[in-house]
């Protein structure tokens, strides 16, 4: 075993700690208000730190996909991520308190629960459940790929793993496959045992590790590269002047229209993510929400600015990489002492693990609570629901791991699709339900499906052109089989939000208004005490 062994040991300790957190979360769930509320919503007990430092926001895209694009295209990626500093204002401040109120008024445990009860529409709830399963399945592929890449960086040091007789699947190395297997077993195990609180508590624990890891890696990379000026010059020499000057490295990667699209992606579209919306349903009180906004704004700044600088520096340190998604673990093992590298790698690995656990709980809740318990067996005993929840997590994890073997070149491509699809489907119905008393079930349904179909049409057109027209190039963004058609240079999720809003408003105004008693219940003057604090 060589000098990367300490990094592997660090990741093993992190996985052991996550398993211990799962055990503790299971005990807390048992002591709460019943299996469903505890396993899927943590008994509505989240405090400020748990709300703010959530690794579901800091994911494999943050530490693997985003750095790979910085490394590939340069300084223009600062425009890509700039609006992340506004996430707390757009998400918690706009929707946070109202989502908490509605979830308590309706008794909702999941987002489909909330939409179903707010609009009195089982069909809307069922449709939301299916879309959550579909969208989060794509998100899981990105996260599983990130976890496998990190373990791949340290597993080759173990005798036998690099044996030429090792298995190869879909051009993935034996180390990648073994890393994927280990990652799948660990993250599925502690999620099965601890549920929502396991995901939230590992978020909190691993978010601290993330901040430490990033703040250690940045000065090491800065010193090794000779400074940002030298690193930028190295990038220009390797990939062209676009590395230093927008729109990208020898390609129209991020012109003004697409830069504006991605500003909307993180600041506005981020409000429509199911995982974030569920967190807003689980906070303790309004004071908690205000503190979480402040903490998250600071945390995002501490994470994202150093990431931009760090992976600009990577161009002066590393040889050109054939697989840019591997830049984070490669850089950590290059610039740091092996023991320190283990701590640094714990940051992206922790982000991926916590994100996967959160998504697994969301998908499981859609299958068990929103479909089985709601429509198939409303009187199912708690033991049956527990077993179904746990087995659904195991099955979903196995499917996601298998799909990861056929993932596209850039992990961030999957993250962008899944995030954009979720926003296009859920943001407008959520806003309509929270703030517009005239919104109808037909309008919410139209908004949800119009947004989703817009995304599918744009991505389907991009896939078709790549598959059947070999010379096709979208002209902007990254070129590849999983990249969409950019109408007028604007990303598909922007069109998804626009068409979703238009259809939601028009259909609501064309259909009969909601019942008076529903308007009074959801828009009356009385506020539920526990939600307004």
Per-residue pLDDT of the chain (533 residues; tens, 9 = 90+): 455 677 777 777 766 776 676 566 556 555 554 444 444 444 444 444 545 455 345 566 677 778 888 998 888 888 878 887 777 777 777 887 888 788 888 877 778 888 988 999 989 988 988 898 888 888 888 788 888 888 887 765 555 554 444 454 555 677 788 888 888 888 787 677 655 455 556 666 666 777 788 888 999 999 999 999 999 999 999 988 888 877 777 777 777 788 888 887 777 877 888 877 776 776 666 777 777 777 777 878 888 889 999 999 999 999 888 888 888 888 988 888 877 887 778 777 777 777 777 777 777 777 877 777 777 888 878 778 778 877 888 888 888 888 888 776 667 778 888 889 999 999 999 999 989 999 999 999 999 999 999 999 999 998 888 878 777 777 776 666 677 888 888 889 999 999 999 999 999 999 999 988 888 888 874 444 444 44
Please give the DSSP secondary-structure letter assigned to residue 476. S
State how many domains the chain has.
1
CA distance 237 to 234: 5
Measured between its terminal Cα atoms, the distance across the chain in Å is 56
Q: What is the pLDDT of residue 144?
A: 85
Assess if residue 491 is contained within a domain: no
Residue pointed to by tokens 């990094």: 7
Assess if residue 22 is contained within a domain: yes
Contacts of 262 (CB under 8 A, 6+ apart): 79, 80, 81, 83, 254, 491
How far are the Cα atoms of 65, 407, 411, 484 from residue 461, in angstroms, in the given order?
24, 19, 20, 7
Spatial contact of 60 and 348, defined as CB atoms under 8 Å apart: yes
CATH of the domain at 292: 1.20.1730.10
Assess if residue 457 is contained within a domain: no
Q: What is the pLDDT of residue 229?
A: 93
Name beta bridge partners: 169.
172
Burial class (CB in 10 A: 0-12, 13-18, 19+), 183: buried
Q: What is the pLDDT of residue 158?
A: 53
Assess if residue 420 is contained within a domain: no
Assess if residue 435 is contained within a domain: no
Assess if residue 424 is contained within a domain: no
Instruction: Give the residue numbers spanning the domain of 349.
Output: 5-409
3-state secondary structure of 328: helix
3-state secondary structure of 46: strand
Assess if residue 307 is contained within a domain: yes
Name beta bridge partners: 46.
283
Q: What is the pLDDT of residue 529?
A: 41
Spatial contact of 74 and 249, defined as CB atoms under 8 Å apart: yes
What torsion do the CA atoms of 299, 302, 305, 306 make, to the nearest 10 degrees?
-140
Query: Could you tell me the two tokens for 179?
Result: 């890393």
CA distance 263 to 345: 28
The pTM of this model reads: 0.79
Q: How much helix, strand and coil, in percent to the nearest 5, is found in the chain?
A: 75, 0, 20
Assess if residue 419 is contained within a domain: no
């Amino acid at each position: 075993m060589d000098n990367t062994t300490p990094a592997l040991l660090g990741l093993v300790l992190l996985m052991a700690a996550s398993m211990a957190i799962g055990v503790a979360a299971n005990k807390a769930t048992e002591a709460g208000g019943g299996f469903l509320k505890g396993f899927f919503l943590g008994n509505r007990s989240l405090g400020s730190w748990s709300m703010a430092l959530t690794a579901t926001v800091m994911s494999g895209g943050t530490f693997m996909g985003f750095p790979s694009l910085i490394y590939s295209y340069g300084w223009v990626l600062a425009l890509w991520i700039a609006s992340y500093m506004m996430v707390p204002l757009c998400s918690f401040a706009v929707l946070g308190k109202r989502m908490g109120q509605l979830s308590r008024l309706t008794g909702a445990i999941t987002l489909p629960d909330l939409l179903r009860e707010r609009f009195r529409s089982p069909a809307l709830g069922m449709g939301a459940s299916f879309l959550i399963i579909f969208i989060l399945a794509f998100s899981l592929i990105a996260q599983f790929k990130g976890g496998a890449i990190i373990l791949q960086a340290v597993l080759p040091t173990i005798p036998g793993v690099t044996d030429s007789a090792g298995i190869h699947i879909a051009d993935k190395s034996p180390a990648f496959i073994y890393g994927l297997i280990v990652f799948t077993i660990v993250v599925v195990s502690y999620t099965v045992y601890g549920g929502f609180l396991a995901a939230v508590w590992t978020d909190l624990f691993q978010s601290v590790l993330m901040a430490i890891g990033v703040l250690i890696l940045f000065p090491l990379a800065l010193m090794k590269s000779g400074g940002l000026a030298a690193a930028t010059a190295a990038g220009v020499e390797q990939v062209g002047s676009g590395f230093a000057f927008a729109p990208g490295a020898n390609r129209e990667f991020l012109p003004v229209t697409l830069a504006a699209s991605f500003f909307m992606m993180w600041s506005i579209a981020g409000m429509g993510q199911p995982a974030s919306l569920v967190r807003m349903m689980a906070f303790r009180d309004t004071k908690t929400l205000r503190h979480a906004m402040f903490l998250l704004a600071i945390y995002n700044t501490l994470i994202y600015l150093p990431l931009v600088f760090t992976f600009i520096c990577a161009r002066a340190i590393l040889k050109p990489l054939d697989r840019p998604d591997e830049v984070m673990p490669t850089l950590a093992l290059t610039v740091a002492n092996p023991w320190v590298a283990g701590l640094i790698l714990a940051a992206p690995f922790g982000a991926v693990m916590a994100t996967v656990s959160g998504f697994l709980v969301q998908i499981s809740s859609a299958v068990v609570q929103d479909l089985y318990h709601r429509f198939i067996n409303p009187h199912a005993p708690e033991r049956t629901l527990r077993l179904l929840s746990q087995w659904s997590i195991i099955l979903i994890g196995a499917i996601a791991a298998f799909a990861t073997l056929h993932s596209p070149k850039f992990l961030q491509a999957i993250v962008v699709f899944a995030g954009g699809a979720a926003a296009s489907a859920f943001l407008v119905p959520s806003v309509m339900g929270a703030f517009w008393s005239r919104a109808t079930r037909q309008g919410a349904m139209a908004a949800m499906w119009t947004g989703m179909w817009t995304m599918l049409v744009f991505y389907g057109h991009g896939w078709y052109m790549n598959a059947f027209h070999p010379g096709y190039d979208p002209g902007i963004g990254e070129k590849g089989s999983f990249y969409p058609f950019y109408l007028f240079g604007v990303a598909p999720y922007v069109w998804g939000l626009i068409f979703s809003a238009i259809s939601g408003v028009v259909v609501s105004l064309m259909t009969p208004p909601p019942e008076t008693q529903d308007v009074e219940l959801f828009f009356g003057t009385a506020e539920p005490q526990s939600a307004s604090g």
